[in-house]
Structure 1
Amino acid sequence: TMISMISRCERERGRDEDEREETGGNCGNAGRRGTTRGTRDDDSSDDSSDSDDDDDATKEASVKDLMRFTLPTMAIWLCDPLLSLVDTSVVGLSSGTLELAAIAPGSVYAGYPFYLLATGFAVATTSMVGQDRLLARRGGAEDEDERTVASAIMTASGVAAISAVLLIAAHEPALARYVGSANVALLPYASAYSVIRILALPAGIISAVAQSAFLAVRDPWTPLKAVTLTTVLNLVLDLWFVTGLGWGIAGAAWATSASQVITMALLIRALVRRGPQIDKVKEMLREAKERAKTSAFSSTKESRAVRNVGAPALRLPFKKPRNDYLERLKSVAGPVMMVALIKCIFVGAIVRSATAISPEASAANGVLFTVYFFFAVVGEGVSQAAQAFLPPQLGNFEKASKLAFNIMLVGVVIGGFNAATSGLVPSLFPQMFTKSAPVIDLMNQAIPFMALALFAHTGSMASEGCLLAARDGVFMSLSYVPNAALSCVTLSILSANGFGVRASWIALFQFHCVRLVINAVRLRAANSPLRKSLSAVADASKTDLAAAADNFAGLEGIADVGQTPTPTTS
């Protein structure tokens, strides 16, 4: 793309030279008039180009467009749930019910802090890179996106390292309280699994930030290559460590942690290699400018266009963060992490309710939650589509509501397929996860409710994506608290009446249904965030550039970044 851009500029220069040769001696006043007219034409062309960009950004997206965007993004977020799925399957088949049951509490303790931090930093990085690209297109600093990525990686690595130390220091009493006195036998296995996974927490968070830098510019293929490679590697290491070396649940944890470290290395390497690539093209642009003798070649314009192609570069040593970086990070990551925290607490309570019943119930619930989170990335894809396509339509309630309806329709269609597939896998192939007949029986009791929860989850994520696109995070945070509390009440009532493992999934299904209804009412209300235009938000927030520009971090922020088609964990 970069080379073709330069070639186009060279062809334009050649045509201008041919025209000058044809005009011969008429290059005095006429030439000056032509130059002036050419300058005006160039300005007009630039204005037209900007207008075209705006038209492209505000073009209504069809269901086909949404599907084309949503489906490829899902593979990007399959990495972590796929690693957990492999762990569950290999441990369940090789190490028995007790170690399989220990994966659930171990995953909660190690995985939920990862999800909380990764979600906040990843969403913030995507939003800020999109904002930087937008401002660069409008004449701002060209390398601000590089500074943002470097700052995000430094901040994320520091926070993740501190979190890992604290989690390891507190893991024994925390896990003992979580599993309860009735399941003390699970504690050694859960402790070993969680500590090993926590050791790779910084690598996982850095990978999430690096991955979001690629997704912000619609490049899913680079992280997809890394994810595919490390997933295959994780499977090989799982079989070797768990089955070959007999390390059991600890071997599964080491395999997953090693895969996360390698993923981080591959993504960081890809970002670092972007620096020389960008520098080489900039040098070619400077040489082309020196050879150019007309105004047909606009170095500044072409330079900005080139820098908006591909992911930002990660340059060493890291650049100093902007003075307002932490404020920008807090404005985006704060509401997202609050929502993620409520999700973690609620889902953690659900997992604990089954762990307290028996090791068999814990194992069955652990398998189903692994399957659930594997398929839950479908909802994330729908949510990402909403955040990408909806922002340019905000302010025109008719268009925005129509697009929101299409997004919900996509959520229903994909959610139905998702629910059916997720239910069939553990029903038809339970031996993929365990050989224990009691565990399989408990799984079969809860599978229909798990499928319903996934169906409702996809629709609720579509509505949530619409609210995120409109930056309505405060409302989301406030609505999550009573909804989660109500679902916990339902969980307690059902558990007391002998519903067992089914109680967890009925409560989760209720949670998603209530969330869908609340979000739908909000989107259709008189004060709907869909009625607020981006320009109005920007005018109202000129004193806070970060908060204003973040509203453009969806499709408009990356509209001209590239043509490659581009999904947070639930």
Structure 2
Amino acid sequence: FAGPALGLWICGPLMSLIDTMVIGQTSSLQLAALGPGTVFCDYLCYIFMFLSVATSNMVATSLANKDEELAQHQVSTLLFIALTFGIGMFLFTKIFGVQVLTAFTGSKNHEIISAANTYAQIRGFAWPAVLVGLVAQSASLGMKDAWGPLKALAAASVINGVGDIFLCSVCGYGIAGAAWATMVSQIVAAFMMMQNLNSRGFRAFSFTIPSTRELLQIFEIAAPVFVTMTSKVAFYALLTYSATSMGAITLAGHQVMVNILCMCTVWGEPLSQTAQSFMPEMIYGANRNLMKARMLLKSLVMIGAIAGLTVGTVGTIVPWLFPSLFTNDLLVVQQDAQSADSIFHCIVGDTFSTQP
């Protein structure tokens, strides 16, 4: 289960990494603009990870108690909440996108603001699909089905990669081409995840307005995750904000290193997802087994420690051995080489922080 789940978590950062690599070979300015652009599109999306946690936890618990009707109702409710948030974020991007990016980047960086806004506005069309797809993916994981969502995200990664190369490198659309490729791939992934839910016997396109009691139940489950993810997003956004004030070259180098960091830190997430999918049945299910739950927890912690050290080492070595993989600008390469050693501690620490 954790193997396919790892593929799910890698696909998102991989799309951003592909964007960074393709844009980095064409324009350092547009590479710098990806910094505030991804803060607006990708970082804010992490705040809504509470929907993922609530969905997988509630569905896994309901199925452990053999109550498929309740699981269907919970999925329909969470899909409605996701769609509502998605439409809200789409409107927020359209109305306040320029103002937020200007406040974040600084009014003097006109070219960066323009490029970042182009990226954010195009990506904004995918907000409803992204959040609905997130709930559909988590519902499948709650059913212990990781292969269905993995196929969807693998297809999305291929679409994004091919689209980036064609639109950016061949057609010369630059950051706008990267945004279109990512947006289309996210919509395709969401549709495939909904179809996977349908194939599992759930009514994926059924939306139910939640009651106040149901909202409180979701809040009780998701509040700790919401606070944690909001804190992380605020921290990473502050780093990008600080890099913005240091000029385009520093911001471009920061964008490369942050994408390497994000690609490496997700390796702890499948362990957390495995715990969320299997623990409820072992602790609350009809066939509860606390001994198995303890053994699973110990195994996940050990795997997390090994994964953190291994991925931390790889993430540190890559900027040293392959500096031109992400950009051909020597000044940006020098910026990344200077900060490569510190990324090890960040990766290991973040991997341990995601332990169940």
Q: What is the TM-score when the length of structure 2 is the normalising length? A: 0.91
Unaligned residue ranges in structure 1 (runs of 5+): 1-68, 276-312, 466-570
Specify the code of the residue in structure 2 equivalent to 1:112.
Y
Q: Quick check: 2:4–2:150 contact (8 Å CA) kept in 1?
A: no
Could you tell me how far 1:107 is from its partner in structure 2? 0.4
Q: Secondary structure at 2:342's aligned position in 1?
A: helix
Q: In structure 2, do the counterparts of structure 1 residues 434 and 376 end up closer, same or farther at CA, with 3 Å as the change threshold? A: same
Q: Distance in 2 between matches of 1:399 and 1:226?
A: 32
Could you tell me how far 1:316 is from its partner in structure 2? 5.4
Q: Quick check: 1:207–1:264 contact (8 Å CA) kept in 2?
A: yes
Q: Quick check: 1:147–1:320 contact (8 Å CA) kept in 2?
A: no
Specify the code of the residue in structure 2 equivalent to 1:123.
V
Q: Please list, as runs of the form range in 1=range in 2, the aligned pairs for 1:71-220 lying within 5 A after superposition.
A: 71-94=3-26, 96-117=27-48, 119-135=49-65, 137=66, 140=67, 142-181=68-107, 183-220=109-146
Identity of aligned residues (%): 31
Q: In structure 2, do the counterparts of structure 1 residues 315 and 415 end up closer, same or farther at CA, with 3 Å as the change threshold? A: closer
Cα shift readout 1:458-510 (whole Å, capped 9, x = no counterpart): 12222xx2xxxxxxxxxxxxxxxxxxxxxxxxxxxxxxxxxxxxxxxxxxxxx
For 1:420, the equivalent position in structure 2 comes to 313
Cα shift readout 1:445-466 (whole Å, capped 9, x = no counterpart): 101101221012112222xx2x
Q: Quick check: 1:382–1:458 contact (8 Å CA) kept in 2?
A: no
Q: Distance in 2 between matches of 1:273 and 1:403?
A: 29
Cα shift readout 1:142-188 (whole Å, capped 9, x = no counterpart): 42211211221122101210122123211112111111245333110
Pair 1:242-2:168 in alignment: yes
Q: Distance in 2 between matches of 1:249 and 1:222?
A: 31
Q: Secondary structure at 2:199's aligned position in 1?
A: helix
Q: Secondary structure at 2:328's aligned position in 1?
A: coil
Q: In structure 2, do the counterparts of structure 1 residues 130 and 244 end up closer, same or farther at CA, with 3 Å as the change threshold? A: same
Cα shift readout 1:538-559 (whole Å, capped 9, x = no counterpart): xxxxxxxxxxxxxxxxxxxxxx
Cα shift readout 1:29-83 (whole Å, capped 9, x = no counterpart): xxxxxxxxxxxxxxxxxxxxxxxxxxxxxxxxxxxxxxxx534321111121111
For 1:445, the equivalent position in structure 2 comes to 338
Q: Distance in 1 between matches of 2:69 and 2:292?
A: 35
Q: Quick check: 2:256–2:326 contact (8 Å CA) kept in 1?
A: yes
Q: Quick check: 1:178–1:352 contact (8 Å CA) kept in 2?
A: yes
Specify the code of the residue in structure 2 equivalent to 1:132.
S
Q: Quick check: 1:393–1:399 contact (8 Å CA) kept in 2?
A: no
For 2:242, the equivalent position in structure 1 comes to 353
Pair 1:343-2:232 in alignment: yes
Specify the code of the residue in structure 1 equivalent to 2:150.
L
For 1:410, the equivalent position in structure 2 comes to 303
For 1:430, the equivalent position in structure 2 comes to 323
Q: What is the TM-score when the length of structure 1 is the normalising length? A: 0.58
Specify the code of the residue in structure 1 equivalent to 2:12.
D
The structure having more radius of gyration, on CA atoms, is: 1
For 1:561, the equivalent position in structure 2 comes to none
For 1:221, the equivalent position in structure 2 comes to 147
Q: Quick check: 1:74–1:378 contact (8 Å CA) kept in 2?
A: yes
Could you tell me how far 1:247 is from its partner in structure 2? 1.0
Could you tell me how far 1:371 is from its partner in structure 2? 1.0
Q: In structure 2, do the counterparts of structure 1 residues 405 and 316 end up closer, same or farther at CA, with 3 Å as the change threshold? A: closer
Q: In structure 2, do the counterparts of structure 1 residues 441 and 390 end up closer, same or farther at CA, with 3 Å as the change threshold? A: same
Q: Quick check: 2:56–2:276 contact (8 Å CA) kept in 1?
A: no
Q: Distance in 1 between matches of 2:164 and 2:197?
A: 29
Unaligned residue ranges in structure 2 (runs of 5+): none
CA RMSD of aligned residues (A): 2.4
Q: In structure 2, do the counterparts of structure 1 residues 179 and 333 end up closer, same or farther at CA, with 3 Å as the change threshold? A: same
Q: Quick check: 2:57–2:276 contact (8 Å CA) kept in 1?
A: no
Q: Secondary structure at 1:314's aligned position in 2?
A: coil
Q: Distance in 1 between matches of 2:206 and 2:294?
A: 46
